[in-house]
Structure 1
Amino acid sequence: MAIKVHEFLQVRIVSAHRTPEMMYSYALSALGCGIHVIIAGAGGAAYLPGMVAALTPLPVIGVPVRASALDGMDSLLSTVQMPRGIPVATVAIKNATNAGLLAVRLLGISDMKLQARVA
């Protein structure tokens, strides 16, 4: 599936904990750079999806990652428990495939050609 829509893909690696300035700058500038959906994967405390969602009006899809003895449950709970006003769509633990498919479906709402390519 990614091969069919890869021209729409942009990858940036940022961390809410290790590179907070880069994460902040990326989230604030994403809309102006033509980005339409952000997929944010994080493990453990998994702050990245929520922090990005707090800084951008774009849809954010969170991917909980297995990163501790809790087998990803800590990441899942951190990603789904966002405060009111900070929406993060969350997929299953370690399921970036569904995050990508959801992003393509969101983009397909206003792009019938893309929608047809994914169907």
Structure 2
Amino acid sequence: MADVTPVVGIIMGSNSDMPTMEACMKQLDEFGIPYEVKVASAHRKPLEVHEWASTAEERGIRVIIAAAGKAAHLGGVVAAYTPCPVICVPMKTSDLGGLDSLLSMVQMPSGVPVACVAINGAKNAAILALQMLGTGDDERRAQMAAYKKDMADAS
């Protein structure tokens, strides 16, 4: 999708998050939603995260999906630098099974909200991104309605 301007930005704190986030990318591909991917830790590469997040809207990004584990500050840091909605994906961890990531993400200070899906909920992050894009786009909203109808018909 290199010839189309990405409307979703995916950022993850580590390359080790990539296998989990492939479900997100696959779902976005199935929806035909162009996206870009960035790997940068909020703690190890804060200036790179700042630059990426603060210029996201200028690049055409409308929704950001941020995946991180443990302290999981990435989504909150990104949300501090962009007007775009941020969906957080807490990564499962070896220490606390991802509960540490989840709690870090949902305890944002007032004025810097993020949405949060389940631990390793990468596919749902893509679906939520489509719903957010659909709030201002009749075609995307119809696409979401068709997706839900297909799910109901398959059950």
Tell me the TM-score normalized by structure 1.
0.93
- Please give the per-residue CA displacement for 1:39-83, whole angstroms capped at 9, x wherever unaligned: 000000000000001111110001100123100000000000000
**C-alpha root-mean-square deviation of aligned residues, in Å?**
1.2
Identity of aligned residues (%): 50
Gaps of 5+ in 1: none
Is the 8 Å Cα contact of residues 87 and 116 (structure 2) preserved in structure 1? yes
Question: Given the alignment, which residue of 114, 127, 140 partners 1:88?
Answer: 114
1:31 to 57, 76, 81: 57
Q: List aligned pairs for 1:39-118, cutoff 5 A.
A: 39-118=65-144
> If you compute each CA radius of gyration, which structure gives the higher value, 1 or 2?
2
Q: Kindly provide the amino acid, as one letter, of the partner of residue 82 in structure 2.
A: T
Unaligned runs of 5+ in 2: 1-26, 146-155
**TM-score of the pair, normalised by structure 2:** 0.73
Distance in 1 of aligned mates of 2:30 and 2:105: 28
Deviation at 1:5, TM superposition (A): 2.6
Q: Would you identify which runs of 4 or more consecutive aligned residues in structure 1 move more than 6 Å?
A: none
